[in-house]
Structure formats: C-alpha cells, structure tokens
Amino acid sequence: MKNPEHIGIIVDGNRRWAKERGLFPFQGHQKGLETVKKIIAHAQKEGVAMLTLFIFSTENWKRSKEEIKVFMGLIDKFFKNEFKNKKNPLFERIKIKVVGRRDDLSSKLKNIIKEVESSTKDNRGMILNLAFNYGGRDEIVYAMQKISKEGTSPDNITVELVQKHMMVPDLDIIIRTGKEQRISNFFIWQAAYSELFFLNKYWPEFNEKDFTAVLIDYAKRQRRFGK
C-alpha cells in the first residue's frame, strides 16, 4: 500500500499529562505545542501530502474562561513565533489553512490567521490544516446551508456535491492520542473509510517513532471501501 495522502490527528491529553505530573494545564498545552512542531517536521520528512491537526473544538468553549484565555494566548504566540517567522525553515514550504468557524475568535487572532494563510498560499510543500473552533457536525450543517443558498434542489443534492463543500478531503488515517477510543466529532464525513489508530499515550508523549509506526501498520492493512 502506498503512503497515505491525508493524515488527521486528534491532539488530546495535554491537560491530563500535566495533571499527572503536578503541573498546570497551560504547561501541558505548551508541551503539546512542542510536539506539534516535531510531528509537522516529521510528517514532511515522511512525504505526507496533507496533515490535519485537531487543535480546538467547538465543544472546548465549555472549559473555564481562564483556561481558554490562557490557551488562546499560547496559540497567538505560537502563530507569531512559528508560522509568521519567515526565517523558520520548518514552515517555509508548508501551505497553512485554518479550518473551522472564526465567528468566536478575537479580531487579533483572526487577523493573524488571515496573514498566515495569505503568506503561505503559494507554498508547494505539505498542506497543513489546523482544525480550530471546528466541529464535524457543524461542518456538515454549514455545508448544507451553503448548498441551500446556492439554490440547489433537494433532489439534486448528491454525495459528490456535499463532498465538494467539505473543508478538507477524505482522511486516510486518523490518529488519536490521549488514551481515548472515539473520534469526537473530528471530520465525521471525511472519516467514513479512515483507518483508525488509538494510542495509549498523551499528546505530549507522542513522538516521531510513534508516527512512523502508524505508517508501517497502515501499509499492512487492506482498505476495501465496502467491496
């Protein structure tokens, strides 16, 4: 089996990793962002065409206001120091796209996202999708709303048409860290035929060897797509 074209990762376990070590939640998120950088670099080396990371879900707004404020601050800093740094060789070839609703984001963060996407839109390396304020059900509702606004008759709505309105293409692999075994509203349309890998470790513990091990396991599987 050839290498997967599109890998999605549910980034989970930062807070529990921190709690088990007597640390604050934000320290877990800091460590998690370090892992994000390592895995992005490794995915490029492995020749992955598209990598999608689930960073913040629409359900995460249920957390405390203080934790959300701190997390958003970390994300803001991460975008500035990593994605906007033109001297950073890690991101000089990557095309970055942030998927999810931006209504609830601060104007400052929305502007940073817009700038990062604009400055990397012509890059021809790996495509990096960051699912931020994203929910799978929300995406499907949004797609159907767009189709309706286009004046499409219900009888003319097809799988292919809906597919065209999705934010990202189908996922070959979904990896979830955090010791949980569910996809938690992560691109549920695109996950229809994904190969699933649930890892018994938290995101800050996830490393390059784990990523490569998933690719090796994937290569041994037979994807039948219902045949």
With 80 as the cut, is the pLDDT of residue 225 above it? no
Rounded to the nearest 5 percent, the helix, strand and coil shares of the chain are 45, 15, 40
pLDDT at 86 (0 to 100)? 67
**What's the predicted TM-score (pTM) here?**
0.94
**4, 194 contact by CB (below 8 A):** no
Q: Residues 12, 14, 133, 172: which is the catalytic one? A: 12
Q: Is a pLDDT exceeding 80 seen at residue 73?
A: yes
Number of residues written out for the chain: 227
Residue 1 has pLDDT above 60, yes or no: no
Give yes or no: 14 in active site: no
Residue 81 has pLDDT above 90, yes or no: no
Residue with tokens 């309706």: 148
Q: pLDDT at position 5, please?
A: 96
Q: Tell me which of 60, 123, 185, 207 is the catalytic residue.
A: 60
pLDDT computed for residue 222 by the predictor: 80
Which CATH code for domain 6-220? 3.40.1180.10
Q: How does pLDDT run across 82-140, given as a tens digit for each residue? A: 877 666 777 778 999 999 999 989 999 999 999 999 989 999 999 999 999 999 999 99
pLDDT digits (tens, 9 = 90+) for 158-182: 999 999 999 999 999 999 999 999 9
- CA–CA separation, 3 vs 21, rounded Å? 36
Active site residue 12: yes
Over range 8-30, report the average pLDDT. Answer: 97
Residue for token pair 């050839």: 2
- Give the span between the Cα atoms of 52 and 10, in whole angstroms: 9
Question: Where do the H-state alpha helices sit in 87-207?
Answer: 107-120, 136-149, 159-164
CB 21 within 8 A of CB 187: no
Going from N- to C-terminal start, the domains of the chain cover: 6-220
Is the pLDDT score of 2 beyond 80? no
Question: Average pLDDT of the chain?
Answer: 93
102: nearest Cα among 110, 93, 94 = 110
